[in-house]
Structures are given as structure tokens and as C-alpha cells.
Amino acid sequence: MQTSAPFLIALPDLAPGEIWAGIAVEDGAPAHHLILLPGDVKGVTHEAATEWAASIGGGLPTRKEQALLFANLKDQFEEAAYWSAQRRESDPDYAWYQHFGFGNQGYTRRDTQLRARAVRRLPI
């Protein structure tokens, strides 16, 4: 049986109000730390949510990152739908969201008004 050596990953320094959400994995390897930024915005379109996230130094989370947020920090969200950064591939007039009450992901028109939280990513 083959074993691999354990590896250590240092936790990043956080600014006041930020919460470490976990490590995002890509292609089976740690890719980046996911940091949830403080604050949220409600009743915004996808475009407005994207602009708001950038204005506070972050971005909207991807669908995979939202699943990580739901698993690790569900209590930091209202039981509502939050915009993801990702548009629907087959129709860019739609974007994906994560519902933090039910746990499901779906898509809706980008002019729908939902909530948003911002994240930042720190490479590992």
C-alpha cells in the first residue's frame, strides 16, 4: 500500500470581519484559500452583484466555492438565494445561484434580484 507524506498548509492572515471558508481544490490538488468577506447586499441583479463584489475588493464565488461555503459557513448566510460568478454556458442571459436555505443550486435570469456575498482567493 502506497502512502503519501502529509503536507502542511499555513492559514492566511485575515482582515477584520473576514472568515476563512476552506481550501478550494482543482484537479485533485489544493488550489487556493477561500475567504468570505464581511457584508452582503440584497435585491441586486447579477451585474450589480458583480460590481458590488469588485468594489469591496472581492468577487462573486463560483458554484464549487458556493458549495464549500454552504458546507462550512452556512450560518453566515440568510436562508435565501445568492448569486454565483458563473453564467449558464448555454444561455449567458442566465446565471447560477446557491440557495442557502435549501442547499440547491439553480439558474435564473441575470436581471432577477437576489442577494450576494463576496469572496477573495489566496493561492496556496
Domains of the chain, each with CATH number or no CATH: 19-123 (3.10.100.10)
Which pLDDT tens digit goes with each residue over 80-112?
Answer: 999 999 999 999 999 999 999 999 999 999 999
pLDDT range class, residue 6, cuts 50, 70, 90: low
| pTM, 2 dp | 0.90
Which pLDDT tens digit goes with each residue over 8-42?
Answer: 777 889 999 999 999 999 999 999 999 999 999 99
Mean pLDDT across the chain: 94
Higher pLDDT, 68 or 7: 68
Provide the percentage of residues in the chain whose pLDDT is more than 90: 88
C-alpha cell belonging to residue 11: 492559514
CA distance 78 to 63: 17
Rounded to 5°, angle at Cα 33 from 2 and 84: 115
Q: Name 23's bridge partners.
A: 33
Contact 31, 124 (CB under 8 A): yes
